[in-house]
Amino acid sequence: MAAMTLDPCLSLEMCRDSNERGAVAAEIEGLIRVYKDGHVDRPQIVPCVSSALAPELGVTSGDIVIDKFTNIWARVYVPNCHNNSKIPLLVYFHGGGFCVGSAAWSCYHEFLARLANRAGCIIMSVNYRLAPENPLPAAYEDGFKSLIWLKHQAQSGAMNWWSRQCNFSNIFLAGDSAGANIAHNVATRIGSISELELATLKPLNLKGTILIQPFFGGEARTCSEKYMVQPAQSSLTLAASDTYWRLALPCGTNRDHPWCNPVAKGSKHLAESRLLPTMVCISETDILRDRNLEFCAALDRAGNKKVEQVVYKGVGHAFQVCDAAAIDDMALEFMEGWDRKKTKKIGHFNSTSPGDGVGMT
């Protein structure tokens, strides 16, 4: 999530509504307020925008419906410079603690349009259902349903404005924050099904996951959660993290549930899955830094020899949707992953020195 400024008019409107609705059960100021009667307010402090893009960006964008019954849709970005050549597809899930955010948020619209252009890939940004109205695993189900929808598109052979350039045998799952958590859990689900069930996804071929500051948690605090000094523009605090998890997890569970804490003691979440090659992008001053580092180490212990961590120095959570220059660095990382055959062990890299990339094939 990007750094945001709350419109005071929205604040007044929320106060009036609070008096009318009664007691508040949970709140993250300026983002979400949940009342005890179940009503949910989400102030539009980040504008939702249409799919239109400035011509100079060199990208065509449009919205597509995935499931009209559950209102799952996606915004697709296709770079214009590749003519009729087949290029990779990045299935992307936005952040927002599972509770806020949209594929139409202006910060994501600009970030993903520029990323599609720089990385030379098609991006399908999925707008999934939000908690607390739709607690987990709803977002994971929507992510998996998006892949099933893609499979049908590939099988149909339809040559529409975006699929004619899509290489359905070169697909990556990606996302930031809660979206990275979704990408990981969708990949884990795919890695746990039988070979026979896996065949039902053909002709799709998933090559790997790209996880940007994945949103994980746990009952015990990490050092970065307890002591990290947050940048002024940070979009994720420890209190907000706790609230998001309380709203998103199923009733009766805690933050050591494997959806929240995949490395919790006794969890077989990673060990029992066929693991895809994985790149984890970590922010040095993010409260999630230590969780992300632990996750990379757990992937390595679980036998995923194609795992790489990339540490971006001096930046906080969700910096990439605030800083246009960061998109170039991330695009370089992703491009080196499309076709590289080399397996890369875990390592630390500066954002201005991307390293060798991760083998995703």
What DSSP string describes 13-37? HHHHHHHHH--EEEEETTTEEEETT
Cβ atoms < 10 Å from Cβ of 306: 21
> Could you tell me where the beta strands, DSSP code E, fall in the chain?
24-28, 32-35, 40-41, 59-67, 72-79, 87-93, 122-127, 166-176, 206-212, 278-283, 307-312
State yes or no: pLDDT of 210 exceeds 60: yes
Q: How far apart are alpha carbons 255 and 152 in whole angstroms?
A: 36
Q: What percent of the chain has pLDDT over 90?
A: 68
Identify the band that residue 343 occupies on the pLDDT scale cut at 50, 70 and 90: very low
CA distances from 218 to 83, 177, 242, 295 (A): 47, 15, 9, 12
Query: In the predicted model, is pLDDT for residue 342 greater than 70?
Result: no
Confidence of residue 255 (pLDDT cuts 50, 70, 90): very high
pLDDT at 19: 57
- In this predicted structure, the answer to whether residue 4 has a pLDDT above a threshold of 50 is no
CB 308 within 8 A of CB 279: yes
How far apart, in whole angstroms, are the C-alpha atoms of residue 118 and residue 121?
8
- What does DSSP assign to residue 48? B
Other residues' Cβ atoms within 10 Å of the Cβ of residue 348: 13
Both tokens of 339, joined, read 């076709």
Strand ordering across the sheet containing 32-35: 24-28, 32-35, 40-41
- What's the whole-number mean pLDDT along residues 323-345? 62
Q: What is the pLDDT of residue 13?
A: 37
Residue 357 has pLDDT above 70, yes or no: no
**pLDDT range class, residue 15, cuts 50, 70, 90:** very low
Comparing 347 with 107, the larger pLDDT belongs to 107
Least confident residue range of 1-10, 63-72, 114-123: 1-10
Q: What is the mean pLDDT of residues 126-130?
A: 98
Query: One-letter amino acid identity for 130?
Result: L
What is the mean predicted confidence (pLDDT) over 44-71?
96
Catalytic sites, residue numbers: 177
Place 232 in a pLDDT band, splitting at 50, 70 and 90: low
What is the pLDDT of the chain when averaged over all its residues?
85
CB of 133 within 8 A of CB of 172?
Answer: no
pLDDT of 12 > 60? The answer is no
Give the confidence band of 8 by pLDDT, cuts at 50, 70, 90.
Answer: very low
Q: Report the interhelical angle of 178-192 vs 138-156 (nearest 10°).
A: 70
Q: Which of 179, 232, 206 is nearest to 1 (CA)?
A: 179
pLDDT in tens, 153-176: 999 987 889 999 999 999 999 999
Residue 324's pLDDT is 67
pLDDT confidence bin for 217, thresholds 50/70/90: very high
pLDDT in tens, 297-313: 999 988 877 899 999 99
Amino acid 267: pLDDT: 77
